[in-house]
Amino acid sequence: MSMVEKLLRHKLLGFWSLPVFIIFFIIPQAFFAALGYGDYLSLLILIIALVSIGGYLFGGGIALSIFRKRILHIDGWRSIIFHFLLFLYLFSYLCLYMKYGGVPFIDMLVRGGNSDLMRADFYKNQEGVWKVLTYFISILSKGFLPFAIIILFCIKRRVSFYLYLFAFTFISISALEKAPVVFTYIPLLLFTFFNGYKKSFIMFSFIAVLGFSSVSFVALGSDLALNGNIQEGPTYLVSSTHSESPKHALYTPALPATKINVSLADEKSYQFLFYNLDSGNKVEYLINRLIWIPYVTVYDTVLYWQENYKGYVFFSVNRYLSMLFGDRFADLERQVFRFQFGSGEDTTGNANASYMAEAYVGFGFPGIIIFSFLIGMIFGGTVRTGVLPFIYSLPVIALGLISASLLSTLFSGGLIFFVIFVFIFSTRLNPNSANYAPRNEMRSEI
């Protein structure tokens, strides 16, 4: 494979991942609702998505032209930092197991229960030093582990690597969360598939599917069991519920409901459903979560803002910016969750909308352009380094941005630390020593 083909492959996997996800998760859904129901808010979201792609490509194009290639180094003091971060990640989970009094996944298998409450007890209902440990886990699982697992594959012996892999797999499913499995395995699968490690790819795929399906069906079975049989509900397009509206508010109240097998009706544990409530099953339930909820959450975030604010919220959109500028924190993620479910002040749930929603309700279209430009700079700069572990981490970071705000992703989501790690664990490539390969350099051409 020529160098040009390799560069195009890396750009496709890394740089184009976010636009592709926006096109897949947001644009068709917005187009469907805007065209099929004459819904102007969906049309607005469609425009927001297109502007986001434009801002991203502009920033990414600049980064691809000004950044320089780098080479990965995991030796000396860098190796010490790398292995300390691995230890900190594992140690943080062990401490939380002790605080929780067990492992949530095992408790669910043995005794059953409510997966939502178990996750909240394990992650959210923590204070003091335990809260700090949850931040370490959040930062490292998203900003460090995606590329670290590839580095471990390349510098560790087979037995040592599989010990790390099984430890990370157990940790990923232990708290009944699916996202850690995705952040652990997707970069590794992409790397092994596109770099010729076919046997490893098959083995890792099997382990990843087993882990993801285990936690998915255990948690989903818990939710469906708690809710009993799925009750009959409307099979037309409906919006979220909140205290100021009837239980099922049409997106287009002036038009009669169209009888199709689509529903955004409330359900006790999950937000909305995208299948016929009279004959739904677990597979359709999961598809709803994957292809419909990202759009719905953006929709309801903008809808909540329109109904409760007279203008953009500016720095109130983020906790730390509001503290810095002396504004009242809007706490939009929690407020939108309450808006969707009609839940009370004691709820711990959050509506995780795409960064586009945060940018728009905070700063309007200039905010969308600036936020997308910044993301494009990060992604473009990372791709330009040519360091594959970082490049293959970008798709899962892009996936995270589809369901999380940029400001949250930068800090608690680990994106700012990911950028720092790119520079810590790599050095500029010296054109005069292009074939330089230290002992702990990556395998093959990385």
Distance CA 366, CA 362 (A): 10
DSSP state of 230: P
Residue with tokens 């490509």: 57
Burial of 44: CB neighbours in 10 Å, binned 0-12, 13-18, 19+: middle
Number of Cβ within 10 Å of residue 232's Cβ equals 10
Tokens for 392?
């293959």
Distance CA 185, CA 273 (A): 27
Distances (CA, A) of 183 to 142, 171, 179, 207: 6, 12, 6, 14
DSSP 292-332: THHHHHHHHHHHHHHHH-SS--GGGGSHHHHHHHTPPP--H
Which residues make Cβ contacts (< 8 Å) with residue 374, sequence separation at least 6?
A: 59, 406
What letter represents residue 155's amino acid?
I
Residues in the chain: 446
Count CA within 13 A, CB hemisphere, residue 22.
25
Distances (CA, A) of 357 to 95, 103, 295, 311, 380: 35, 35, 10, 14, 22
Query: 3-state class of 68 per DSSP?
Result: coil
Every domain of the chain and the residues it spans: 1-68+292-429, 86-227
Distance CA 24, CA 47 (A): 15
pLDDT tens for each residue of the chain, 446 residues long: 555 555 566 667 889 999 999 999 999 989 988 888 788 888 999 999 999 999 999 999 999 999 989 999 998 999 999 999 999 999 999 999 998 888 888 888 887 777 777 877 888 777 888 889 989 999 999 999 999 999 999 998 889 999 999 999 999 888 888 788 889 999 999 999 988 899 999 999 999 999 888 887 776 655 545 444 433 333 333 333 333 333 333 333 333 333 333 333 344 433 344 555 455 566 776 677 778 888 888 988 898 888 888 888 888 877 777 877 777 877 778 788 777 766 555 566 677 788 999 899 999 999 999 999 999 999 999 999 989 999 999 999 999 999 888 888 888 888 999 999 999 999 987 755 443 344 344 443 34
Our measurement of the distance from residue 226's CA atom to the centroid of its chain's CA atoms, rounded to an integer in Å, reads 26
Burial of 228: CB neighbours in 10 Å, binned 0-12, 13-18, 19+: exposed
What are phi and psi for residue 331, nearest 5 degrees? 50, 50
Distance CA 371, CA 190 (A): 27
Distances (CA, A) of 35 to 31, 260, 301: 6, 15, 20
Query: 3-state class of 357 per DSSP?
Result: helix
Which residues make Cβ contacts (< 8 Å) with residue 95, sequence separation at least 6?
A: 130, 133
